[in-house]
Structure 1
Amino acid sequence: MTKKEKQALSESDICDLFITPAIKAAGWDQFTQIRREVTLTPGPVIVRGNMSSRNKKKKKFADYVLSWKSGVPVAVVEAKDNKHTVSQGMQQALGYAEILQVPSAFSSNGDAFASHNKAPIDEEIECEIPLDAFPPPAELWQRYKIYRNIADTEETLVVQPYYEDASGKEPRYYQTDAINRVVEAIAKGRKRLLLVMATGTGKTYTTFQIIWRLWKAKAVKRVLFLVDRNFLADQTLVNDFKPFGSVMTKIKNRTIDPAYQIYLGLYQALTGPTEADKAFKTVSPDFFDLVVIDECHRGSAAEDSAWREILDYYANAIQIGLTATPKETEYVSNITYFGEPVYTYSLKQGIEDGFLAPYKVVRIDIDKDLYGWTPPPGMTDDLGNAIEQREYNQQDMDRILILNQRTKLVAKRVMDLLRATDPFAKTIIFCEDIDHAERMRKAIVNAAGKLAIENPKYVMRITGDSPEGKAELDNFSDPESRFPVIVTTSELLTTGVDVKTCKLIVIDKTIRSLIIFKQIVGRGTRIDEEFKKYYFTIMDFKKATEHFRDPDFDGEPVVIYEPDGNDDPVPPDPPSDGDSGENGDEEEGVRKFYVSGVEVSIVAERVEYIGADGKLVTESYIDYTRKQIRQEYASLNDFLTRWQAAKKKDAILNELAEYGIKFELLAKEVGKDYDAFDLICHIAYAQPPLTRKERANNVKKRNYFTKYGEQARAVLYALLDKYADEGLSTIESPRVLRLRPFDAMGTPMEIIQNVFGGKARYEYALQELEDALFSQEQSA
């Protein structure tokens, strides 16, 4: 094959004819070790206004991922067509190697391989090797072992395969990284491990794969998975851990039956205040080989906690702590107990990759919160109690001072947003306490009107003291169940509850704790494509979202030797009692004043979105579109040159759509009669737009097509009318000649052959028509 012929081949052809055969010839098995076109990340979801779309430009997929026999990835290969140099894909390959945490990266254009080795011994880091000299599996596995510092004695455990289910579900890249890092650390003899993964990233599935590999390799025999919510144990039993089947049990009645190997336990069922309650002591300290503590930020690391008592008893076991929000204070430290995290996958990274839902923030300021309120001298509340004479501010609202009009205002604003978007979007409203949650429930019922009348479970209060509310928790979590739609709560839904389709989180609660704030945000971070949930909204009435500006919001966990803030003049958040999640409706000793008749109003409201740097920005959909278009085409001239050169204009529109730009959304903002060309020129380069009809009429006036025969002119004028009515995509579609009025002129083949004299001439005439539509004269 000549160089010219080779350069005419597509990238896919280069892979099939040169790269894949070279890798197979080196001893790599096509079915078990070579994976083609592996999607690593789907690309982040972009949110502007009430619309969302994926930025596919940021999608990451590797042309090849090469794995050792057990499925452990060891190398990536980036392919390019032969118009590129051998090493032109190396930077991409290195990026994918970083994601997969592998030492070997290769690039090829079908002539040779460029090789990068992160674990060199007596060789160059980067070099070029012939096509027939690709490294065999054993060589790259040895390189991986050096890179990961894996000893020969540790290899058996490290290469234990994953569980493969019938559906073909595979761990995502970060789950694979997490599993491998934990298994490798245990193989080295480490006994305390901390795994930090953001809410919604699949901690339980990741944990299942870790336990499966350790159990199958016989590195552990008996495993205890500890949770602090009963429904978490039940969910785990029937979902992620189901493959363990008959060897698995849930600990009940404070009895540990020695007949099983995998145990799911509620820590409240294993311990208690008296010695008789301490069921964990009914077996020997060496009974369990592995103890996994879910949501370990909720107190397991505190030296005087019930969980620590269990951990200390099983001190000889391997212990893994799972958390989305490491708790680090003077008194409680996950890191001090478990050590530095063996792996961390943050909320920011999850959103950037596109595995987690981004958020938009609606910040609302209420006048009495912002400016404060002082009662007139001698004023009494609704119960006749004298109101303490002082200024009440935002932190007092619904803790000490209850303004009924304020509660109604918040409820009305929530319902206004839902009615404008989706009245049946699953919503959680976080309130100060149980009393506030009940008052908010009532206010939502009144604001919802007909919606609440038609279904009494449209809004429910789910708090620790309400069995009726807690009974609806499963229905609220179930995407298939429409009701309840709105839930008011104070503490119960901050953690652990998996509501994949939650689209709105309302915060009317003072939140000083960064950890609690992260847990609340975590209620909305899951993406559910089946139910079209790609993002969520945070409606903030109490400035809680100021935590997003905290540099530690999504930073690495560190041990902070500072007081917990017990001298804070603001009353503390109501404490959690573990399973119920709430411990009462009032803080001890706090007197509340209920006041009707004081008018309140919204004085400021702004909407913010996640920017490219992960920080919140105030930006419209048009602003976002302008940035992306200018990123692709720096000037109007650059765009026009590319547009005029393109045989199919749709190709350019598809390229821009990869950024998450939807032209139908832009048309709603600018005008529905403008085509994509004018939307681009107007939004990105401030050009005055012309409607499709104006462009079509201008072409007709200039008699561009007098050189064509009568029938051809009739087809071209009909195409202009189609463009005016429906846009450019319609006339570029190969199906257009099947539509009216063309169907009356003959079949598509008859029109192309008999009227224009063949496909090439028809395509030339269509190109000439488009050139006339978008000529510089038209745009001037």
Structure 2
Amino acid sequence: MAETVNQNPEQIARDKIDKMLSDAGWEIQSKDKINLSASKGVAVREYQTDAGFADYVLFVDRIPVGVIEAKKEDEGHRLTVVEEQSKDYAQAQLKYLKNDPLPFVYESTGTITRFRDFRDPKPRGRNVFSFHKPETIAEWIRKGNSLRDRLTKLPSLNPEGLRPAQIVAINNLEQSFKNNRPKALIQMATGAGKTFTAATFVYRLLKYADAKRILFLVDTRNLGEQAEQEFMTYQPDDDNRKFTELYNVQRLTSGYIASDSQVCISTIQRLYSILKGEELEESAEESNPNESTWMEQQMNKKQPVPVEYTPRVPIEQFDFIVIDEAHRSIYNLWKQVLDYFDAFLIGLTATPDKRTFGFFNENVVSQYTYEESVTDGVNVPYEVYNIETEISSKGGVIESGWFVDRRDKLTRAKRWQQEDEDTEYKRNDLDKKVVNPSQIRNIIKEYKKVLRTTIFPDRFDEQGNYEVPKTLVFAKTDSHADDIIKIIREEFNEGDDFCKKVTYKIDEDPKSVLNRFRNSYHPRIAVTVDMIATGTDVKPLEVLLFMRDVKSINYFEQMKGRGTRTIDSEKLREVSATARSKTHFVIVDAIGATKSKKTDSRPLERKPSAPMKDLLGAVTVGVADEDLFLSLANRLIRLEKQITEKEQEKILEFSGGKNLKQITKELITAFDPDAIENGAQELIKNIPEAERTPAQYEEAKKEAQEKLALEAAKTFNGQLNDYLENVRKEHEQIIDHINIDTVTKSEWEKTSVDQAKKTIQKFTQYLEANKDEIKALSIFYNQPYQRRDITFKMIQDVMEKLRMDKPTLAPDNVWNAYAALEEVKGKAPQDELTALVSLIRRACGIDKELKPFDKTIDENFKNWIFKQNAGKHNRFTSEQMDWLRMIKEHVVSSYHIELDDLDYTPFDSQGGRGKMYQLFGNEMNEIIDELNEVLAA
């Protein structure tokens, strides 16, 4: 234990600075014992300059490179005041040397350290965690100009292959770099290509700014693997090689960072463990660290175990850190990881909150919302379909005397029991305390029914079999997911491959199941708890079925984001053969998730007693708080009285041989005054009693307490925590087979009147604006007589231009808007082009009400036949009528018929134009012209 009690504040600061320099690889020498060859980096104390004695002068390879101005610790707030003083030393002549001004300047108290590189275009001081290594400074000098100088010389971005929002993001980000802004935030809607954007600017930083190494930081292993795939497939616009053929990309799976890696991909949990010199539990990377639980409150109150300088991972290890899903896990404990590195920070997120904006100094270089992405056709819009059941909304009662199953949550073993009292359960108890299979079954049955009749009624193949669109179900727990899967397989009458669970707790490789869900025909339905709730790309998804509620706005938006992805129509048909194209996705809300009250972030636990999961998590990551330790000990004392012998054996296995009594004792002892006193006496026993000072005794007590707390905390780990949490939960669920549920609501969520009006207004304005440019629109508006000449190709042109300019005005969306405002005769035609003609006719005023154009043609045909037969009895023979009906059906699908069409299907198989001439003689051409005009009227 270092004796610093009698030292003055200046000497304490110098001692700390000396240790920091030594840790970073510098040899410290006094001015009268200089040996510049002793080490690559030498820091000489009190070196004389013509401006006075510099506290430290730094030499690398015997060449002076920088100075350090040391100040007392209590002057940390004044470091900016002494910048001129340290600059004077840097520009001064050193004794015996004819040196140029020294480029690298530090001011430090040993606790706060600031750094400037005078090679920068506009040198600006910044806080750094420690000093840079001599090898780093040697490399900087070898490169000549500084990183910030090189950033000002980035070439113009080639926009080819990039979306407009990506171009804006990269250009603005690079301008932020040129302005030496340390942090920047890119807000980009889920599905808009955040990782592709990152790969583009990372490539440019490596190639044009000569960045040494860039970190891509995520908070789950799943996101890390996805980022790695993005870099592997990325091909720059100015090279025919892939990114990974040009630069080394390393995804960290251990504490080893390769010296030749230029892009590192890591979870923030792994990087924290590397800086702490600890092994990382494999399960720690499975889900993002929950930044908004009781644990966060504790970390706000108590200083978490701090990160210390790690020589093998110096502060200059990365030049840039890209933080994916930056709204989630960069605060409190985890923030230390980012504070440690001397790097530019770039945040990527679709859903920032107030903390995110604050963390990135409100430097938002790009804001691209989901609404904007839908307008641009980058993402697809969504519709909401609500399913509600009696028990989902009101719960139920299990009356005394009923015989019910009780199921063990862990083993799922059942036992039969007669209930001796009434058990009332609320909607929030479902799938926790009580499982009602009828409630799950009714939701699934209704979903199966409305898929075919209402949601996607056009998915029947030629044999009449229905193809279920790719569906993701959000479940509350793994147990809930298992119940849902069993019922889905039964109700859809399908095998195991049809519906799979995708969580980290499945026997199959979850990545393999997810890959099949994304790229293969089966599974059609995946059920997850939260593994693919955020950040995972499954483009063919067309339905999200919510069977769990979500209280966080951000988390809900991320979950919705799973369905927003666009996909090429051919790629979609590879996994969903009956789909035409992905114009939208559907949220099926069976729990009220779209209507429940949401908060800015995941709600803080406000109960007097915090969840044990949070207590365990806080102790595991090093929060050493007396209330925390005693609360957890109290819970474990209660638990110890309830557990079985078999469960006790499992605890011994996961804890390294400690039973609950031992674990509890260590937690209590960590703050026991007698134990701390004994520990302190042991630490100072070698100091003669007469020489001991009160400060030494207090320091010894603090160190003893910390050792006891560390010993208690070391027992806890991911496996033990999970097991304790599961054992703690009520062991059994009641299976309510008696209360049969019924569907009380099954309907589309009504489009708001205002929204519908806006959609119709935008559609009408678009048609008006383009009526002179697009031939079909010109005819509809200005030349009614020529409507008979409108061809399939003309309508296709309108559709293609509409898709390109205004994808949100897809026929389905506009049809729904009209349906919300007026009585619509019939459903939207399955064929989009037919629906588009109906909408154009309504918007132009040709039709006073919206009705399917195929039905209009049917009516016009019937009226024409009626007129032809007026005063005559059956003007046309039955064979002639068959031909006229064929012509009518052709006009339904192609809007117009030409004489040449008679040489093709279906007419050619009936004898073609020769047969029609034989039937109608010289009237043939007149009838074709007349039908073109009459049917399009």
Distance change >3 Å, CA 274–CA 629, structure 1 → 2 = closer
* Structure 1 residue 336 corresponds to structure 2 residue 367: no
* Structure 1 residue 345 corresponds to structure 2 residue 373: no
Distance change >3 Å, CA 765–CA 694, structure 1 → 2 = closer
Which residue number corresponds to residue 590 of structure 2? Answer: 541
Which residue number corresponds to residue 376 of structure 1? Answer: 399
Which residue number corresponds to residue 469 of structure 2? Answer: 425
How far apart, in 1, do the equivalents of 2:612 and 2:550 lie?
8
Q: CA offset at residue 277 of structure 1?
A: 2.3
Which residue number corresponds to residue 91 of structure 1? Answer: none
Give the counterpart letter for 2:176 in structure 1.
Answer: A
Task: Say whether the 8 Å CA contact 2:389–2:443 is kept in structure 1.
Answer: no
* Structure 1 residue 290 corresponds to structure 2 residue 291: no
Which residue number corresponds to residue 415 of structure 1? Answer: 448
RMSD: 5.0
How far apart, in 1, do the equivalents of 2:838 and 2:563 lie?
37
Q: CA offset at residue 474 of structure 1?
A: 3.7
Match of 1:310 among 337, 345, 352: 337
How far apart, in 1, do the equivalents of 2:588 and 2:608 lie?
26
Which residue number corresponds to residue 15 of structure 2? Answer: none
SS at match of 2:190: coil
Structure possessing the higher radius of gyration over alpha carbons: 2
Q: CA offset at residue 203 of structure 1?
A: 0.6
Q: CA offset at residue 655 of structure 1?
A: 7.8
Which residue number corresponds to residue 712 of structure 2? Answer: none
SS at match of 1:271: helix
Which residue number corresponds to residue 172 of structure 1? Answer: 163
Q: CA offset at residue 491 of structure 1?
A: 1.9
How far apart, in 2, do the equivalents of 1:251 and 1:696 lie?
74
Report the identity percentage: 21
Which residue number corresponds to residue 44 of structure 1? Answer: none
Distance change >3 Å, CA 233–CA 732, structure 1 → 2 = same
SS at match of 2:425: coil
Q: CA offset at residue 463 of structure 1?
A: 2.4
Which residue number corresponds to residue 439 of structure 1? Answer: 483
Task: Say whether the 8 Å CA contact 1:424–1:482 is kept in structure 2.
Answer: no
Q: CA offset at residue 732 of structure 1?
A: 3.3
How far apart, in 1, do the equivalents of 2:481 and 2:602 lie?
30
How far apart, in 2, do the equivalents of 1:440 and 1:642 lie?
58
Which residue number corresponds to residue 323 of structure 1? Answer: 349
Counterparts of 1:248-259 in structure 2, within 5 Å, are 248-259=249-260
SS at match of 2:336: helix
Match of 2:329 among 274, 277, 299: 299
Distance change >3 Å, CA 647–CA 416, structure 1 → 2 = closer
How far apart, in 1, do the equivalents of 2:587 and 2:313 lie?
47
Which residue number corresponds to residue 437 of structure 2? Answer: 404
Which residue number corresponds to residue 269 of structure 2? Answer: 268
Q: CA offset at residue 513 of structure 1?
A: 1.5
Higher relative contact order (CA 8 A, sep 6+): 1
Distance change >3 Å, CA 573–CA 352, structure 1 → 2 = farther
* Structure 1 residue 727 corresponds to structure 2 residue 891: yes
Which deviations, in whole Å up to 9, do the C-alpha atoms of 1:280-301 show, x marking residues without a partner?
A: 932210121101111122211x
Moved more, 282-291 or 440-449: 440-449
Which residue number corresponds to residue 389 of structure 2? Answer: 366
Q: CA offset at residue 304 of structure 1?
A: 1.7
SS at match of 1:239: helix
Distance change >3 Å, CA 686–CA 194, structure 1 → 2 = closer
SS at match of 1:502: coil
How far apart, in 1, do the equivalents of 2:588 and 2:161 lie?
35
Counterparts of 1:607-756 in structure 2, within 5 Å, are 607-608=748-749, 642-646=783-787, 648-650=789-791, 658=802, 660-661=810-811, 669=827, 684=849, 691-698=859-866, 700-701=868-869, 722-727=886-891, 729=894, 731-733=896-898, 735-739=900-904, 740=907
Distance change >3 Å, CA 448–CA 386, structure 1 → 2 = same
Which residue number corresponds to residue 412 of structure 2? Answer: none
Counterparts of 1:56-455 in structure 2, within 5 Å, are 156-157=152-153, 159-162=155-158, 170-218=161-209, 220-241=211-232, 242-245=242-245, 246-272=247-273, 275-277=276-278, 281=310, 282-300=312-330, 302-305=331-334, 308-314=335-341, 316-328=342-354, 333-340=355-362, 341-376=364-399, 381-383=404-406, 384=417, 391-417=424-450, 421=459, 423-449=467-493, 451-452=494-495
Structure 1: gaps spanning 5 or more residues = 1-151, 553-559, 705-715, 776-780
Task: Say whether the 8 Å CA contact 1:696–1:723 is kept in structure 2.
Answer: no
Which residue number corresponds to residue 482 of structure 1? Answer: 521
Which deviations, in whole Å up to 9, do the C-alpha atoms of 1:63-98 show, x marking residues without a partner?
A: xxxxxxxxxxxxxxxxxxxxxxxxxxxxxxxxxxxx
How far apart, in 2, do the equivalents of 1:587 and 1:656 lie?
63
How far apart, in 2, do the equivalents of 1:400 and 1:153 lie?
62
Q: CA offset at residue 199 of structure 1?
A: 1.5
Q: Which structure shows the higher helix fraction?
A: 2
Q: CA offset at residue 592 of structure 1?
A: 4.0
How far apart, in 2, do the equivalents of 1:733 and 1:667 lie?
30
Task: Say whether the 8 Å CA contact 1:229–1:496 is kept in structure 2.
Answer: no
Which residue number corresponds to residue 547 of structure 2? Answer: 508
Which deviations, in whole Å up to 9, do the C-alpha atoms of 1:336-382 show, x marking residues without a partner?
A: 21122221211222122221122221111110232342443576752
Distance change >3 Å, CA 309–CA 733, structure 1 → 2 = farther
How far apart, in 1, do the equivalents of 2:358 and 2:278 lie?
28
Task: Say whether the 8 Å CA contact 2:485–2:499 is kept in structure 1.
Answer: yes
How far apart, in 2, do the equivalents of 1:768 and 1:253 lie?
78
Q: CA offset at residue 410 of structure 1?
A: 2.5
How far apart, in 2, do the equivalents of 1:726 and 1:535 lie?
29
Which residue number corresponds to residue 46 of structure 2? Answer: none
Give the counterpart letter for 2:862 in structure 1.
Answer: E
How far apart, in 2, do the equivalents of 1:438 and 1:518 lie?
25
How far apart, in 2, do the equivalents of 1:746 and 1:570 lie?
89
Task: Say whether the 8 Å CA contact 2:401–2:419 is kept in structure 1.
Answer: yes
Distance change >3 Å, CA 542–CA 772, structure 1 → 2 = closer
Q: CA offset at residue 259 of structure 1?
A: 1.8
Normalising by structure 1, we get a TM-score of 0.61
Which deviations, in whole Å up to 9, do the C-alpha atoms of 1:507-558 show, x marking residues without a partner?
A: 11121121221121111111112214332221111100116x97x9xxxxxx
How far apart, in 2, do the equivalents of 1:236 and 1:766 lie?
59
How far apart, in 2, do the equivalents of 1:667 and 1:385 lie?
56
Give the counterpart letter for 1:442 in structure 2.
Answer: K
Which residue number corresponds to residue 501 of structure 2? Answer: 461
Give the counterpart letter for 1:604 in structure 2.
Answer: K
Task: Say whether the 8 Å CA contact 1:227–1:294 is kept in structure 2.
Answer: yes
Which residue number corresponds to residue 532 of structure 2? Answer: 493
Structure 2: gaps spanning 5 or more residues = 1-147, 233-241, 281-308, 407-416, 460-465, 573-580, 622-716, 769-778, 803-808, 817-823, 873-879
Give the counterpart letter for 1:297 in structure 2.
Answer: H
Q: CA offset at residue 321 of structure 1?
A: 1.3
Task: Say whether the 8 Å CA contact 2:500–2:513 is kept in structure 1.
Answer: no
SS at match of 1:335: helix
How far apart, in 2, do the equivalents of 1:569 and 1:641 lie?
73
Count of matched residue positions in the alignment of Structure 1 and Structure 2: 568
Moved more, 645-654 or 436-445: 645-654
Task: Say whether the 8 Å CA contact 1:271–1:278 is kept in structure 2.
Answer: no
Give the counterpart letter for 2:348 in structure 1.
Answer: L
How far apart, in 2, do the equivalents of 1:774 and 1:267 lie?
64
